[in-house]
């Protein structure tokens, strides 16, 4: 019999937290919760990636089920199969016979179908489940500018909203069920489309005789500039492709987005074309670097040999 436990912020303002998945994003977010003074236990498939958090006060565990007695467990893994593995697979957080978390918050980018399956299994265990995908990367996290879209039972969201607020600057409740998954997939499809478009116009300007630095400085100061175009400008100008988000991960999100578009009968011709360009970049070997390498493929197709400009570019982020 699973122990009955409830969690409210009126009686428990310091919930015991579990964190599953300490990759580039998960590590930084778990560290934010530790810095805020929370009791955090962490699991990662490759334990060595989680162990540095012990120096910040975290407890490192060997199996997700060791987090089953935690009040709130966050999950941030790479794919749908990984989410199933750490929740309902052998040793998963929902498999302990005697305990289950009060709330699971999944911040992975996964399919709505798998998310719904895990939600159902969590409900069977008396565990509230929220889909809470995020927008940002480690540098955005460090600047305190991460944003979160959340869906699921509103009372569960109301319980944990203060905790989610520690992760960044914006938490938006978007509805019931799995709709946050669609919000994040739509966001990432737009991310790819905008980056491809930015690569195209930047290469056009450069082939016409304008430096990338000058063109992007003008663009960023115009009404067409954005937080994202400014943030990505140093990578495009200096060809700095240290990964924040890789091309294979972007392709996965395009696949999910176009699948949703087919199910909902929404034509997406621009997204479909961009997905083919992303696939071409992967075929050309661009798999480990940042997806900003789309500019290299655009330059190649344009007959332009581009080089790093070694220019100082403001990325628009400042820590907060």
Tokens of 25: 């994003």
Residues 6+ apart with CB under 8 A from 231: 140, 315, 316, 317
Q: 17-177 domain in CATH 3.40.50.10440? A: no
Chain mean pLDDT for the chain: 93
pLDDT bin (cut points 50, 70, 90) of residue 138 is: confident
Q: Name the least confident of 37-41, 112-116, 257-261, 315-319.
A: 315-319
Total residue count of the chain as it appears in this document: 320
Local structure of 301: helix, strand or coil: helix
User: Residue 10 is encoded by which pair of tokens?
Assistant: 């009126």
Listed by start position, the domains of the chain span 17-177, 183-301
Q: What angle do CA 262, 147, 74 make, to 5 degrees?
A: 85
The CA distance from 125 to 104, in Å, is 11
Q: Provide the pLDDT for residue 2.
A: 54
Select from 275, 274, 311, 291 the least CA-distant residue to 228.
291
Please, what CATH class does the domain formed by 183-301 belong to?
A: mainly alpha
Assess whether pLDDT exceeds 70 at residue 130: yes
**pLDDT for the residue numbered 134:** 94
- Cα 231 to Cα 136, 138, 170: the distances in Å are 11, 13, 18
**Residue 319: pLDDT over 60:** no
Percent of the chain with pLDDT over 70: 95
Would you state the pLDDT for residue 318? 66
Q: What's the average model confidence in pLDDT over 92-103? A: 96
CA–CA separation, 167 vs 59, rounded Å?
19
């Amino acid at each position: 019999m699973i122990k009955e436990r409830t969690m409210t912020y009126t009686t428990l303002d310091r919930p015991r937290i579990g964190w599953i998945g300490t990759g580039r994003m998960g590590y930084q977010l778990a560290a934010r919760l530790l810095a805020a003074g929370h009791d955090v236990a962490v699991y990662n498939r490759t334990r060595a990636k989680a162990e540095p958090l012990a120096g910040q006060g975290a407890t490192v565990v060997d199996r997700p089920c060791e987090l089953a007695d935690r009040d709130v467990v966050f999950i941030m893994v790479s794919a749908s199969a990984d989410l199933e593995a750490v929740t309902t697979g052998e040793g998963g957080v929902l498999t302990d016979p005697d305990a289950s978390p009060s709330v699971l918050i999944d911040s992975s980018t996964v399919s709505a179908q798998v998310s719904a399956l895990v939600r159902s299994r969590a409900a069977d265990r008396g565990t509230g489940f929220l889909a809470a995908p995020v927008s940002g990367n480690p540098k955005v996290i460090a600047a305190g500018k991460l944003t979160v879209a959340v869906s699921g039972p509103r009372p569960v969201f109301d319980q944990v909203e203060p905790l989610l607020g520690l992760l960044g600057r914006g938490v938006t409740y978007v509805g019931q069920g799995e709709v946050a998954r669609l919000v994040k997939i739509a966001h990432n499809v737009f991310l790819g489309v905008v980056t491809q478009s930015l690569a195209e116009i930047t290469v056009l300007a450069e082939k016409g005789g304008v430096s990338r630095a000058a063109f992007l400085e003008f663009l960023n100061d115009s009404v067409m500039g954005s937080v994202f175009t400014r943030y990505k400008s140093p990578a495009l100008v200096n060809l700095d492709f240290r990964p924040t988000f890789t091309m294979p991960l972007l392709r996965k999100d395009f696949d999910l987005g176009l699948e949703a578009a087919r199910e909902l009968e929404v034509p997406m011709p621009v997204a479909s074309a961009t997905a083919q360009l992303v696939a071409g970049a992967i075929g050309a070997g661009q798999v480990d670097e940042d997806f900003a390498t789309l500019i290299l493929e655009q330059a190649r197709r344009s007959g332009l040999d581009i080089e790093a400009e070694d220019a100082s570019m403001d990325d628009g982020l400042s820590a907060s």
